[in-house]
Amino acid sequence: MQLLTSSVGRKVLMAITGQLMVLFVIVHMLGNSSIFIPGGINAYAEHLHALPPLVWGFRLVMLASVAIHILFGVQLSLENRVANAETYAVKNLKRATLGSQSMLYTGLLLLAFILYHLLQFTIRATPDIVAGVDAQGRFDVFAMVTNSFSHGIIAFVYIAAMVVLFLHLSHGIQSFFQTMGWNNNKTLPVIGKIGTVAAVVLLLGYASIPLFIVSGILKG
């Protein structure tokens, strides 16, 4: 299969799996935002988990995407390192960005965060978790999240991870369009800006929750 071994083929697979994860991250942020509506996030979680095929379908697609994205990401990065082993005494990069140069590192940091995040709010195995029920007998997601994020260090780690996500997506979103060939010299700057704006919106959307909790605006 040329798609799995070639330079462009593997890049296309990384672009598609990356973009599936971006779509997930957008949906996840919209879901999280229900925390700002009284009782919203508990109702959202209740409805979501009443649909196991949807939840598990999502999880399987995400698991496959994460696996493919990381496998090819690491493989291509290692190849690139061999191809450009000797570096220059003086470096003068013009177009490469912090985001584009740190994709491997931000990617691996995000993997570590995803594992921690799943352990925390999905498996609920971290010591900060408060697992109770609300007045309507639903699992109290609101109390769990507000309690965890009231710890400054947990809020900080979460926000730091979102900054890493921003860096990764500031390159990743626009890169997807280039890799799929949906780009030319007129669309490139526009897509670049849209990618950065989308990454900023996601950063603000996610980081606002721990910020509102840790600052005491959103109380448990």
Q: Which residues bind another protein (CB under 8 A)?
A: 2-3, 6-12, 76, 79-80, 82-97, 100-101, 103, 171, 174-175, 177-185, 188
Q: In this complex, which beta carbon is closest to another protein, that of residue 185 or of residue 215?
A: 185
Q: What angle do CA 220, 214, 208 make, to 5 degrees?
A: 95
Q: In this complex, which beta carbon is closest to another protein, that of residue 47 or of residue 81?
A: 81
Q: How far is the CB of 182 from another protein (least distance, A)?
A: 7
**Per-residue tokens: 55:** 């939840």
Q: In this complex, which beta carbon is closest to another protein, that of residue 34 or of residue 178?
A: 178
C-alpha to C-alpha distance for 104 and 67, rounded to whole angstroms: 14
- Name residue 139's beta-bridge partners: 133
Q: How far is the CB of 27 from another protein (least distance, A)?
A: 25
Residue 164 contacts residue 110 (beta carbons within 8 Å)? yes
| Residue 39: φ, ψ to 5° | 75, 0
Q: In this complex, which beta carbon is closest to another protein, that of residue 176 or of residue 206?
A: 176
Task: Give me the sign of the Cα torsion angle 194, 195, 197, 201.
Answer: positive
Residue 156 contacts residue 220 (beta carbons within 8 Å)? no
**Per-residue tokens: 209:** 């929750």
Q: How far is the CB of 20 from another protein (least distance, A)?
A: 17
Q: How far is the CB of 74 from another protein (least distance, A)?
A: 12
Residue 135 contacts residue 156 (beta carbons within 8 Å)? no
Q: How far is the CB of 90 from another protein (least distance, A)?
A: 4
| Cβ partners under 8 Å of residue 133, min gap 6 | 139, 140
In single-letter form, the type of residue at position 144 comes to: M
The total of other beta-carbon atoms located within 10 Å of residue 150's CB is: 17
Q: In this complex, which beta carbon is closest to another protein, that of residue 94 or of residue 219?
A: 94
Q: In this complex, which beta carbon is closest to another protein, that of residue 120 or of residue 170?
A: 170
Q: How far is the CB of 197 from another protein (least distance, A)?
A: 18
